[in-house]
Structure 1
């Protein structure tokens, strides 16, 4: 997708509506840059459709499409390939549960035993069918992650930093409470890209339970944060977006992207979120739109999430399928805080892709967890002038008085002070037997 074309299309449709009064990481990078032109196009089209739902009944219904540089028409998407920033097969690392004095090297804890862990799981206070396999928290949080340093494949105006530079620039740090911070550069004005952070676990997994406890996520016009998992060969090994959104959105969007053959039933299983976009999850058949589910909770993303002290996101991948849960700070299940998770007691997930229509071990393999924050890019820039999305009832263009996302971000560093992650922990569990 090319943002100017998408914005031109959006402007034209809005005008008609008004008349009607209605990277160590470089090895794998080459495998995935061919997807860069498609990435994150689906999110834009879904948002345009949502924003235009208020059109006059006299206007014919329209399906928004965007034409990419290859001439292919598609609906708009998710993130760059997860193997950008991954370790080669067989070199997946581990992270010790014991606090370390510093996080000066992204390769700390590396092991030749894929999926192994030196972390000794604490004795749970209750029974659970899950055992702790990997934990990132406290002073050792950044041990066992790779810092991606390539250009952002989603066309964001960021430069991802290596670990020593990110730490010396105060873009990464550990708070006195033991929480990990990942920031965006807030220099008042820049002429090019702003420094940012993207990290990928060296540990990889096939199935499991991923818990991410955060007190703050990036928010504000121009931001595009995500916490997600991905396999080494996109889209054959799948992508699971657990936390994602742009600008001032308040409702999380969880999405999967796969090879052909994976679908989300239109009469979906029990989940609290709403389907947005396609029910065909095949990335290459839907312009990488994937199968998205928007949370019903208006404090599951952005400033609203931060205002309630954040909470816990959980992604469960087992024989029943893929599911994503969200628990705000005052509603975190006691079994999670006890270190003995019992997903069967959690109630409805935010999103669910059942195994009956998408075999989770066929379409997803060898995933690692990823944090990133980009600025503008295909999605956040593409909906800069859009309104009608929860949290963005007024467009960022109207709110800031600046015509483009890029101009705003480059000239208003102070507006990015809330564009940071504060993470208490990431824990990856495996079946106990």
Structure 2
């Protein structure tokens, strides 16, 4: 968690609320606050650049860049000693975004056509990232990591030539962390964002392997513009050697959960971090839900050959399901999804006290693997929750996360995504 200093950063008028006790905490915290506000300003500039690029897309040549939404943030739920949090932009009123219709979506590539087998499903396939063409419609993020990670995200050419991305013999896409034993500076990794933008929909990830190991912080998530105003939905996320997943949402002020009780919400997971989903008012934690399944993330997930995560976003709310490899519904496998038959979701954030197109709009899907940073790094000396009985400091014998990243490339052999497909659907009108 970062503490902000509006008196020092007065010219950054959008800085977050002040901390009256800041000066008693020493110059280190003052410097940290200045750094945080700088990232906020960079982020806003990044979002503005992205919006301009979309508007001018008919006359611009598509290229790698960093004008993407930049934050994936998490709450305290999985960290035994208090957890980590990422620093985001100051919240807005929650009403500043213009919500497009539930069937909207834009992309630089042609939408995928629905197969005849999907005719009975209310959800129609719009984008299919799969096989040799998997990377064709993503933008590679190359700016500094907004979560203070010891990572350097690389462009598509560097990633491909360095074997950090590619298609394996099974036809699956992979995204790796560099395993060079010793590096000076940050370690290379990959972060990609869909060019396709959508408001409401159904996102289905079929992954065989997810990054795991000390210092890793992987996530698959969706994000809107002007964070947190456009909302963020973390579908699959965790750190270090955890084997359970945490799904979360982060919003502008005014979005809350009606209850923290799993039975009331009708979910299999456990609410962590409270019911206030506003990033600013919750220390950037938002509303998190922790899975009860020890094969939903990390080595547990990889040991069963992975599985499917599905996120449904409608007027009624946002739901996330997890299906282990052996339990994937046939309608998902046939690209004819029927969410009404999928049973109890891992998580559900209903629209009761959170309008689903006021607080969430114009999303893009994102993969990233950062290292250390404000969650994995802050948890280095603690046990991080279910599936990790020892701290990374104890397990590795290395005192800091940054030192481990710089000098232990062989510790990142399992830090890779292997993905069969990502499919994005829109509901038929």
TM above 0.5: yes
SS of corresponding position for 2:170: coil
Write the distance in 2 (CA, Å) between the matches of 1:115 and 1:77: 33
Secondary structure, aligned partner of 1:356: helix
Helix, strand or coil at the partner of 1:378: helix
Greater shift, 387-396 or 303-312, is seen at 387-396
Identify the match of residue 410 of structure 1 among 400, 406, 420.
406
Q: CA deviation at 1:27?
A: 8.9
**Worse overlay, 309-318 or 383-392:** 383-392
1:55-204 correspondence to structure 2 within 5 Å: 76-77=84-85, 117-124=110-117, 127-204=120-197
CA contact (8 A) 1:76 1:287 kept: no
**1:239 maps to 2:201:** no
| CA deviation after TM superposition for structure 1 residue 188, in Å | 0.6
Superposed CA deviations along residues 130-177 of structure 1, whole A, max 9, x for unmatched, are 000111000000011000000000011111111111101110000122
Do 1:39 and 1:76's aligned partners in 2 also have CA atoms closer than 8 Å?
no
Q: Post-superposition shift, 1:284?
A: 1.2
Residue 355 (structure 1) shift: 1.1
1:46 CA displacement: 3.7
Describe the SS at the equivalent of 2:405: helix
Does residue 325 (structure 1) correspond to residue 342 (structure 2)? The answer is no
What residue number does 2:380 align with?
384
Tell me how far apart the structure 2 counterparts of residues 37 and 382 of structure 1 sit (CA, whole Å): 19
C-alpha spacing 1:113/1:416, structure 2 compared with 1 (3 Å)? closer
Q: 1:385 to 1:26 in 2, by over 3 A?
A: closer
**Matched-pair contact (CA < 8 Å) for 1:322–1:353:** yes
Gaps of at least 5 residues in structure 1 are 4-8, 10-24, 53-63, 65-74, 82-88, 90-111
Aligned match of 1:100: none
Distance in 2 between residues matched to 1:38 and 1:209, nearest whole Å: 21
Deviation, structure 1 residue 358: 1.5
Do 1:133 and 1:428's aligned partners in 2 also have CA atoms closer than 8 Å? yes
1:266 aligns with 2:260: yes
Deviation of 1:214 (Å): 0.2
Mapped partners of 1:37, 1:174: distance in 2: 26
Structure 2: gaps spanning 5 or more residues? 4-24, 26-41, 50-65, 90-96, 98-104
TM-score by length of 2: 0.78
* Deviation of 1:39 (Å): 7.0
SS of residue paired to 1:124? helix
Q: Which residue of 1 aligns with 2:330?
A: 334
Relative to structure 1, the CA distance from residue 298 to residue 126 in structure 2 (aligned partners, 3 Å threshold; closer, same or farther) is farther
Partner SS for 2:120? coil
Cα deviation 1:37-76 (Å, max 9, x = unaligned): 9974x53x4444xx26xxxxxxxxxxx5xxxxxxxxxx84
Counterparts of 1:240 and 1:388, CA distance in 2: 21
1:178 CA displacement: 1.2
Query: Quick one: structure 1 residues 262 and 80, their matched pair in 2 at CA, closer, same or farther if it must change by over 3 Å?
Result: closer
Number of paired residues?
357
Aligned-residue CA RMSD in angstroms?
Answer: 2.7
TM-score, L = length of structure 1? 0.77
Residue 295 of structure 2 corresponds to residue 278 of structure 1: no
Structure 1 pair 164/146, CA: closer, same or farther in 2 (3 Å)? Answer: same
Secondary structure, aligned partner of 2:331:
helix
1:223 to 216, 227, 235: 216
Counterpart of 2:343 in structure 1 is: 347
Give 1:126 deviation, angstroms: 6.0
Change (3 A) 1:47 1:113: closer
Q: Secondary structure at the match of 2:402?
A: helix
In structure 1, distance between residues paired with 2:420 and 2:356: 28
Query: 2:352 aligns to what SS in structure 1?
Result: coil
Q: How much does 1:79 deviate?
A: 7.9
Shift in CA distance, 314/38, structure 1 to aligned 2, threshold 3 Å: closer
Q: 1:78: how far off? A: 5.0
Aligned to 1:310: 306
Q: Distance in 2 between matches of 1:114 and 1:397?
A: 44
Summarize the Cα distance change of 1:116–1:366 in structure 2 as closer, same or farther, 3 Å threshold.
farther
2:143 and 2:173 map into 1 onto residues whose CA distance is 22
* 1:233, distance to aligned residue in structure 2 (A): 1.2
Shift in CA distance, 139/212, structure 1 to aligned 2, threshold 3 Å: same
The alpha-carbon distance between structure 1 residues 186 and 114, as it changes in their structure 2 partners (threshold 3 A), is closer
Instruction: For 1:353 and 1:115, locate their aligned partners in 2 and report how far apart those are by CA, in whole Å.
Output: 31
| Counterparts in 2 of 1:234 and 1:422: CA distance versus 1, 3 Å | same
Distance 1:350 1:79, change over 3 A: farther
Cα distance change on mapping 1:248 and 1:124 into 2, 3 Å: same
